[in-house]
Amino acid sequence: MKKIILTTLAILLALPASALILQGNAEINTQAAREETFNNINYALGPNEFRDYWNDPNYAINYNALKNGSNKVANRQLSLFSDGTYGVRYLNDPYHNYYYDENGILFKVDVLNKPYNVYPHRSVAYNRYGAFKNATYVVSKNEQYLYDINKNLLGHWVENACYDENGNVLMLRKNAE
């Protein structure tokens, strides 16, 4: 009888920990992701590195596709964010993602250390002039950790929602499948 009680107690004590892990669907913890993110990164690039993309060269087509609910156009995939901004990934360039405001003006470029579909990988974001904006550790297709220059957690993407440290939704996105 004592054995059954101890086994039941052990199972019940383990349940809250299991529920907590499963609730967030986290595949790696924040500190491990932070260390990987900032391991040997570039904090600045040349000021004209992304000049060809300062304005979305396909703005009209991309904007209309997103407006009509499409996330794929010819040679690129699109992501729409809840704040009205959007991202463009060119299929022939797996090392960059370009982010534009609702007017097609570049505000951020991700530079990846591995192709976007190889996990895990790191993504360092720069503004249009090559200055550091933030860094992301991409654990999988469904999970990313986003940090500022001081290594503070800005957000944790799980699926298509970005959460702050308290579990509040900061932003949503719709990605190409």
Report the predicted TM-score, pTM, of the whole model to 2 decimal places: 0.78
pLDDT digits (tens, 9 = 90+) for 87-99: 999 999 999 999 9
pLDDT in tens, 77-120: 999 999 999 999 999 999 999 999 999 999 999 999 999 999 99
The domain ranges of the chain are 27-174
**8 A C-beta contact, residue 91 and residue 75:** yes
Count Cα atoms within 13 angstroms, Cβ side, for 35.
Answer: 4
Using CA atoms, how far residue 76 sits from 32, 39, 117, 118, 120, in Å, is: 32, 30, 14, 18, 22
Is the separation of the CB atoms in 98 and 106 below 8 Å? yes
Residues contacting 123, CB < 8 A, separation 6+: 97, 110, 111, 112, 113, 135, 136, 137, 138, 144
